Structure 1
Amino acid sequence: MPLPTVEHETHADPTWSVIWLHGLGASGDDFVPIVPELVDPSWPGIRFVFPHAPVRPVTVNNGMPMRAWYDIKSLGIADRQDAEGIHASVADVEALIAREVERGIPASHIVLAGFSQGGAMTLAAGLRHRETLGGLLVLSAYLPLHETIEAERHGANHATPIFWGHGSVDPIVPMALGERSRQLLEALGHRIEWHSYPMGHQVNMTEIQDIRHWLTERFATV
């Protein structure tokens, strides 16, 4: 069964879906307020889907249960990675994509988006998905399980456009980690539109404007 979600449709009978994954300790409600700031009147009908990650203990937070796509076992977030948790959440994202397809949205009209840990899951799930997606929107994140991505990625999303935004003074996911992840994917041939902003672990209005422009280009595709 797909994860519980918060949903917002900009028009009846949407023709695109944006599945937006929240960060560690947040919930599906976290990015709902971005919709009115982001949506352009020229866009087709969009269904925004904001899932709630499962509640699980998080090691770096003294084992406190919270919504998380996977465990963080070390202050070095790319160290000692929770491969089992990441793959379980990939399956959860696959179920969300499948539900959108069942509701009449083809995979090519589905954009995966995410912030922080949700952005990491956007890459983990999107690059492994077996149908071509409409785009990957990655905010303040990094590539998890980078050692296995070359073997596990699927060719269907080799050319899928990726928007990647990162704060230059991010204290949670250092921009250097994001840049290393970007360089690894670019070396594998992935197309990445990279943006850096003078901010911390957050989203600002300039980034929202850049996201709007990028999504406008995606929605213009047939």
Structure 2
Amino acid sequence: MNPSDADPKLDIIFVPARTDTPVGSIVLLHGWGANHDDLGDLVPYFNLPEYQFLFPNGIFDHEYSDEGKMWYSFTGAGELTDLSRAQLATSREVLREWVQSLPDSTGIPLDRTWIAGFSQGGAMTLEIGLDLPVAGLIVMSGYLHQDRPKPESVAPPVEIVPGTKDDVVPIVAARSSRDKLTEWGIEVRYQEFEMGHSIVPEVLDVIRAFVTK
């Protein structure tokens, strides 16, 4: 089965490994208003040729962009409304079921599958990944939902990579997420960069080291 066809609810870009026997899978979740093409251009720069990449599209159309997608909507103040909470619940269910189905479609077990996300995609990474037996979670300029409950089982290790000059997701959100995850007993690796709401080459180096540790 082509991993792109694993769930009809998700529009997925699948980038195969450049080897016959992939070492692992990396799922990348885009941010609010972007789409699965947004992070796809980064594949060569990850320098992980033995890994296959999967880029799911957000399941909701963005309110202000014809091509943009989102996992849930925001208000102007960034708070969750009843609508956005319902959308979050739907995205959480769809993404979780899809990730759990990946071993059947890719041949790669969950313990060799990483979930990564940028901005809202980073929030969704924590939302679904803390309860899954995956290899690790990577949060780029993202955050932990404030009402996200503590995982009931042992959570995978988390790499958080925020920007100190981020004017979209402030650095305090990343530090708060780090502190809460650490309080829950989760292994957290944390490294700040002097950058805005973006992904600089040094971030990709950190991710590569985390995945290939």
TM-score normalised according to structure 2 size: 0.87
Deviation sequence 1:144-169 (CA, Å, 0-9, x none) = 1x22412xx23042xx1111000101
Corresponding residue SS for 1:93: helix
Number of residue pairs aligned between Structure 1 and Structure 2: 203
Q: How does 1:2-21 map to 2 (within 5 A)?
A: 2-10=9-17, 11-21=19-29
1:139 and 2:128 correspond: no
Corresponding residue SS for 2:162: strand
Give the aligned residue type for 2:152: H
Q: Give the drift of 1:57.
A: 5.0
In structure 2, distance between residues paired with 1:188 and 1:12 = 39
1:208 and 2:204 correspond: yes
In structure 2, distance between residues paired with 1:122 and 1:148 = 12
The farther-off stretch of 66-75 and 119-128 is: 66-75
Q: From 139, 152, 155, give the equivalent of 1:154.
A: 152
> 5+ residue gaps in structure 1?
218-222
Give the aligned residue type for 2:12: T
In structure 2, distance between residues paired with 1:2 and 1:101 = 18
> 5+ residue gaps in structure 2?
1-7
1:47 and 2:52 correspond: yes
The farther-off stretch of 190-199 and 83-92 is: 83-92
Q: How does 1:95-174 map to 2 (within 5 A)?
A: 95-103=97-105, 104-129=107-132, 132-144=133-145, 146-150=146-150, 153-157=151-155, 160-174=156-170
Deviation sequence 1:86-139 (CA, Å, 0-9, x none) = 12111121132133111221111110100000000000001133xx11000100
Q: Give the drift of 1:79.
A: 5.3
Q: What is residue 71 of structure 1 aligned with on the other side?
A: 73
Corresponding residue SS for 1:209: helix
Go from structure 1 to structure 2 and tell me whether the alpha carbon gap of 1:65 and 1:31 turns closer, same or farther (over 3 Å shift): closer
Go from structure 1 to structure 2 and tell me whether the alpha carbon gap of 1:214 and 1:66 turns closer, same or farther (over 3 Å shift): same
Give the aligned residue type for 1:102: D
Q: What is residue 39 of structure 2 aligned with on the other side?
A: 31
Go from structure 1 to structure 2 and tell me whether the alpha carbon gap of 1:175 and 1:2 turns closer, same or farther (over 3 Å shift): same
Deviation sequence 1:31-84 (CA, Å, 0-9, x none) = 11211111246xxx31100111123354xx5x9894100111232x35557322
